Structure 1
């Protein structure tokens, strides 16, 4: 009930201004009536569904600024890891000092840009929450911006040691992390208020969310190519004592004449094991192309297994036998 009342209040604010009513995620023009009950439009008809330019521009501006702030936070976390040597990169003090200088300058420029963009967002005065959100974001950015600017002064950085620049960068990463979201935030309002739900589906906001999802989703790892094998994956071809097979499963049993080989595969190595009926077993690890292992006993079947190729998805074994 509360949600419907809030949504209705927003709609009435727009209707009273001769603006729009939110309907199903788009906006419909509400004709403004004159004193004698007639519409002031020449045709007496609404103009049809469209996105109200004022609210669309506000939403696009807020979504763009929010995305820029999130990108700065992600970059700050990455740089903090680099400074501490947690990103697989050398953590020499000199290298970290250079990383710190670059980050400080880029973070200061990013905050200045976000502040300018927020200042250019034109809120709707008849819908107080639009201005409250914009002003709250702007205050948070401007709360940390003077200190970040001072810590990032290019002339000052040139006179500092690597350790001092690292210290400044660590301080800025903590300042960026401390920037607070307004409460309720744009996303929270979009969950409870029809007007803000519609605004969040403006063309600019939709495009920004799609771009963020694309960046955040890991790039699918390409499947490794199948290695050629004369007998494909048919281990049954080995029963007569000679075959060339591709092994794709983590564990496979291969019958070679009167011997049974247990083959375990991972991405870099093949382990072949043969257990004797009388007890005991032979186990050979094959980890390089051309590596071989021999199984069996004198006077019986002797089986030789050669690793002919291996990658993340499969391995090719050449198997021969003799009596």
Structure 2
């Protein structure tokens, strides 16, 4: 009996010893788990995908800001234009009305191609801005061209009002970065969000303007001697406006920084650069040989 009791004690002791080891191991792991939590991603860290997304949003925002500034400047120039005939203002208005809807559509398309960021508040901002820009793009695209042609100057004011409405909803992206650390980190890294960033990659202040890729205008064979066009064949330079009579056809030419406009017999033809060709119905045609901010070289001829 005594031996049996000793065994029992030994067994009990063994059990206690084993149990003690087991309990001690569990407590140790728990303590270690409590003292050393699993590493988590820093809230201020940002993935390359988020940086790219934020950069694209900033790029669209800059594009809209440039659209608003450019539209306001165009409207002011059109309203203050005074060449005695009103033709210069009309030509500028036509140019504005032909390019602005496409510019808004481009931004709308860029926003619609932008996927989700994974940050709910940022995605709500994208959706709201996308909806606003798409609405204006659709309205401008649905505007009848004939209305713009006949009432070009007054139509510009209406279009500008719509363009000026294209501001980011609140809270905008900078405001969101103040509340969301990882969005702030991505904003800091995205080059398009830097102050003064421009779409061509230049930073703005201190940068020299890029040279004109087209170079200087070629010399026009007849210079500004518009009388040389009387027989229907000439090559002349127009730096602002000119009245040219070629083979009995009177043509009023208006040259601006971004377009060349021909007006004859109530018809208007406008071109955005070199290569444009205007026909006047009697075999006479005028070709834009070259065009830049200094003027345009035009070649008149008979087909």
- After TM superposition, the score normalised by the length of structure 1 is 0.46
- After TM superposition, the score normalised by the length of structure 2 is 0.49
Structure with bigger helix share is 2
With CA pairs under 8 Å and 6+ residues apart, which has the higher RCO, 1 or 2? 2
